[in-house]
Amino acid sequence: MYKVFVNDKPIIITSSSKKENNFPVYLFKNVVMDEVVHKLRNKNIKGINLYSSDLEKDWAIFLDKIEVVPAAGGLVLNPKNEVLFIYRNNVWDLPKGRIEKGESVKTAAIREVEEECGIFNLTIIKKLITTYHIYYQNGNKLKETYWFLMSSNYDKELIPQLEEGITKVIFKNEADSKVALKNSYGNIKLVYDTYKEI
Protein backbone atom coordinates (compact mmCIF):
# COMPACT_ATOMS: atom_id res chain seq x y z
CA MET A 1 0.00 0.00 0.00
CA TYR A 2 1.15 3.54 -0.77
CA LYS A 3 -0.39 6.58 0.87
CA VAL A 4 -0.02 9.95 -0.90
CA PHE A 5 -1.41 13.05 0.78
CA VAL A 6 -3.08 15.96 -1.00
CA ASN A 7 -3.28 18.51 1.81
CA ASP A 8 -4.45 16.11 4.54
CA LYS A 9 -6.51 13.85 2.29
CA PRO A 10 -4.94 10.53 1.31
CA ILE A 11 -4.83 8.78 -2.03
CA ILE A 12 -4.41 5.14 -0.99
CA ILE A 13 -2.98 2.98 -3.76
CA THR A 14 -3.53 -0.61 -2.68
CA SER A 15 -3.73 -4.16 -4.00
CA SER A 16 -5.90 -5.22 -1.05
CA SER A 17 -9.61 -5.65 -1.70
CA LYS A 18 -10.32 -5.32 2.04
CA LYS A 19 -12.04 -1.99 2.68
CA GLU A 20 -10.55 -0.23 5.70
CA ASN A 21 -12.21 3.19 5.31
CA ASN A 22 -15.27 4.90 3.79
CA PHE A 23 -13.42 6.46 0.85
CA PRO A 24 -14.69 5.85 -2.70
CA VAL A 25 -12.85 3.09 -4.61
CA TYR A 26 -11.63 3.41 -8.20
CA LEU A 27 -9.50 1.18 -10.39
CA PHE A 28 -6.02 2.65 -10.68
CA LYS A 29 -5.87 1.94 -14.43
CA ASN A 30 -9.11 3.89 -15.05
CA VAL A 31 -8.25 7.18 -13.32
CA VAL A 32 -6.59 10.37 -14.52
CA MET A 33 -4.35 11.36 -11.62
CA ASP A 34 -4.71 15.14 -12.13
CA GLU A 35 -8.49 14.72 -11.84
CA VAL A 36 -8.09 12.72 -8.61
CA VAL A 37 -5.85 15.44 -7.14
CA HIS A 38 -8.30 18.15 -8.28
CA LYS A 39 -11.21 16.30 -6.63
CA LEU A 40 -9.35 16.01 -3.34
CA ARG A 41 -8.40 19.70 -3.39
CA ASN A 42 -11.89 20.96 -4.18
CA LYS A 43 -14.54 18.43 -3.20
CA ASN A 44 -15.91 17.41 0.14
CA ILE A 45 -14.32 13.94 0.07
CA LYS A 46 -11.90 12.84 2.75
CA GLY A 47 -9.78 10.47 0.62
CA ILE A 48 -9.73 8.07 -2.31
CA ASN A 49 -8.81 4.39 -2.67
CA LEU A 50 -7.20 3.31 -5.92
CA TYR A 51 -7.28 -0.45 -6.40
CA SER A 52 -4.28 -1.89 -8.23
CA SER A 53 -3.88 -5.41 -9.60
CA ASP A 54 -0.08 -4.91 -9.77
CA LEU A 55 0.96 -2.52 -7.02
CA GLU A 56 4.66 -2.07 -7.85
CA LYS A 57 4.00 -1.63 -11.57
CA ASP A 58 1.22 0.89 -10.95
CA TRP A 59 3.34 2.78 -8.38
CA ALA A 60 6.11 3.08 -11.02
CA ILE A 61 3.51 4.42 -13.50
CA PHE A 62 2.31 6.92 -10.87
CA LEU A 63 5.88 8.16 -10.21
CA ASP A 64 6.55 8.43 -13.93
CA LYS A 65 3.63 10.84 -14.44
CA ILE A 66 4.58 13.42 -11.80
CA GLU A 67 7.72 15.38 -10.98
CA VAL A 68 9.26 13.86 -7.84
CA VAL A 69 11.04 16.19 -5.41
CA PRO A 70 13.24 14.17 -3.02
CA ALA A 71 13.49 15.44 0.57
CA ALA A 72 14.76 14.19 3.91
CA GLY A 73 14.08 14.96 7.56
CA GLY A 74 14.20 13.73 11.10
CA LEU A 75 12.18 12.91 14.16
CA VAL A 76 14.73 13.97 16.78
CA LEU A 77 14.75 12.78 20.39
CA ASN A 78 16.61 14.41 23.27
CA PRO A 79 17.91 12.46 26.32
CA LYS A 80 14.41 12.76 27.91
CA ASN A 81 12.86 11.12 24.79
CA GLU A 82 11.07 14.36 23.92
CA VAL A 83 10.40 15.03 20.21
CA LEU A 84 11.72 18.08 18.35
CA PHE A 85 8.96 20.09 16.62
CA ILE A 86 9.06 23.20 14.46
CA TYR A 87 6.22 25.72 14.09
CA ARG A 88 5.72 27.10 10.58
CA ASN A 89 2.67 28.66 8.88
CA ASN A 90 0.62 28.19 12.09
CA VAL A 91 1.16 24.41 12.01
CA TRP A 92 3.41 22.06 14.00
CA ASP A 93 5.79 20.16 11.77
CA LEU A 94 9.00 18.12 11.84
CA PRO A 95 12.21 19.47 10.28
CA LYS A 96 12.83 18.39 6.68
CA GLY A 97 13.88 19.77 3.32
CA ARG A 98 15.02 19.08 -0.21
CA ILE A 99 17.98 16.86 -0.96
CA GLU A 100 20.61 18.85 -2.82
CA LYS A 101 22.33 17.57 -5.95
CA GLY A 102 25.06 15.06 -5.13
CA GLU A 103 24.01 14.88 -1.46
CA SER A 104 23.22 11.58 0.26
CA VAL A 105 19.81 11.13 1.87
CA LYS A 106 21.30 10.86 5.40
CA THR A 107 23.53 13.93 4.91
CA ALA A 108 20.54 15.94 3.67
CA ALA A 109 18.40 14.84 6.63
CA ILE A 110 21.03 15.96 9.16
CA ARG A 111 21.77 19.22 7.30
CA GLU A 112 18.08 20.16 7.09
CA VAL A 113 17.44 19.47 10.79
CA GLU A 114 20.54 21.49 11.76
CA GLU A 115 19.58 24.42 9.50
CA GLU A 116 15.92 24.57 10.47
CA CYS A 117 16.41 24.12 14.23
CA GLY A 118 19.90 25.39 15.11
CA ILE A 119 20.66 22.01 16.71
CA PHE A 120 23.85 19.93 16.50
CA ASN A 121 25.33 16.60 17.73
CA LEU A 122 22.75 14.67 15.69
CA THR A 123 22.99 10.90 15.40
CA ILE A 124 20.84 8.83 13.05
CA ILE A 125 19.38 5.83 14.90
CA LYS A 126 17.46 4.25 12.03
CA LYS A 127 15.31 4.88 8.95
CA LEU A 128 11.66 5.40 9.93
CA ILE A 129 9.40 5.75 6.88
CA THR A 130 9.07 7.47 3.51
CA THR A 131 6.09 9.81 3.13
CA TYR A 132 4.53 11.30 0.01
CA HIS A 133 2.51 14.44 -0.52
CA ILE A 134 1.42 16.33 -3.60
CA TYR A 135 1.67 20.10 -3.80
CA TYR A 136 1.19 22.59 -6.60
CA GLN A 137 4.09 24.72 -7.87
CA ASN A 138 4.03 25.25 -11.66
CA GLY A 139 2.17 21.95 -11.92
CA ASN A 140 1.66 19.09 -9.49
CA LYS A 141 4.80 17.87 -7.70
CA LEU A 142 5.27 14.87 -5.43
CA LYS A 143 7.45 15.44 -2.38
CA GLU A 144 9.02 12.12 -1.41
CA THR A 145 10.43 12.55 2.11
CA TYR A 146 12.81 10.04 3.69
CA TRP A 147 12.45 10.20 7.49
CA PHE A 148 15.04 9.13 10.06
CA LEU A 149 14.82 8.64 13.80
CA MET A 150 17.60 10.77 15.31
CA SER A 151 18.93 11.69 18.71
CA SER A 152 20.85 14.68 20.05
CA ASN A 153 22.23 15.68 23.44
CA TYR A 154 22.61 19.32 22.30
CA ASP A 155 21.51 21.47 25.24
CA LYS A 156 22.05 25.04 24.03
CA GLU A 157 19.34 27.40 22.77
CA LEU A 158 17.58 26.20 19.61
CA ILE A 159 17.32 28.80 16.84
CA PRO A 160 14.44 28.63 14.32
CA GLN A 161 15.33 29.31 10.67
CA LEU A 162 13.22 32.46 10.28
CA GLU A 163 13.92 32.81 6.53
CA GLU A 164 12.16 29.46 6.07
CA GLY A 165 9.12 30.76 7.96
CA ILE A 166 9.91 28.78 11.12
CA THR A 167 9.01 30.78 14.22
CA LYS A 168 9.45 28.18 17.01
CA VAL A 169 11.64 25.15 17.67
CA ILE A 170 10.86 23.13 20.77
CA PHE A 171 11.15 19.65 22.28
CA LYS A 172 7.78 18.27 23.41
CA ASN A 173 6.96 15.41 25.76
CA GLU A 174 4.44 12.76 24.72
CA ALA A 175 1.35 14.61 25.98
CA ASP A 176 2.39 17.89 24.32
CA SER A 177 3.34 16.02 21.13
CA LYS A 178 -0.17 14.56 20.90
CA VAL A 179 -1.66 18.06 21.26
CA ALA A 180 0.71 19.44 18.59
CA LEU A 181 -0.22 16.62 16.19
CA LYS A 182 -3.85 17.79 16.25
CA ASN A 183 -2.54 20.90 14.43
CA SER A 184 -0.18 19.15 12.02
CA TYR A 185 -0.14 17.35 8.67
CA GLY A 186 -1.31 13.82 7.85
CA ASN A 187 2.15 12.67 6.83
CA ILE A 188 3.70 14.06 10.05
CA LYS A 189 1.18 12.02 12.09
CA LEU A 190 2.26 8.99 10.03
CA VAL A 191 5.93 9.62 10.92
CA TYR A 192 5.09 9.99 14.62
CA ASP A 193 2.88 6.86 14.64
CA THR A 194 5.69 4.89 12.96
CA TYR A 195 8.10 6.07 15.68
CA LYS A 196 5.63 5.08 18.44
CA GLU A 197 5.20 1.59 16.91
CA ILE A 198 8.91 0.88 17.31
| pLDDT-based confidence at residue 7 (cuts at 50, 70, 90) | confident
- Per-residue pLDDT tens for 63-108? 999 999 999 999 999 999 999 999 999 999 999 999 999 999 999 9
pLDDT at 195 over 90: yes
Which residues, including other chains, have CB under 8 Å from residue 84's CB and lie 6 or more apart? 74, 75, 76, 77, 78, 94, 95, 113, 117, 119, 152, 158, 169, 170, 171
What type of residue is 156? Answer: K
The CA distance from 8 to 180, in Å, is: 15
Q: Please report which helix (H) or strand (E) contains residue 127, including its range.
A: strand 122-136
- Who wins on pLDDT, 19 or 181? 181
Structural domains of the chain, ranges and CATH numbers in brackets: 2-64 (no CATH), 69-197 (3.90.79.10)
pLDDT at 116 over 90: yes
- Per-residue pLDDT tens for 134-176? 999 999 999 999 999 999 999 999 999 999 999 999 999 999 9
The CA distance from 26 to 2, in Å, is: 15
pLDDT at 20 over 90: no
Average pLDDT over residues 14-21: 87
The closest of 8, 14, 7, 100 to 54, measured between CA atoms, is 14
Q: What is the pTM of this model?
A: 0.93
pLDDT of residue 165: 96
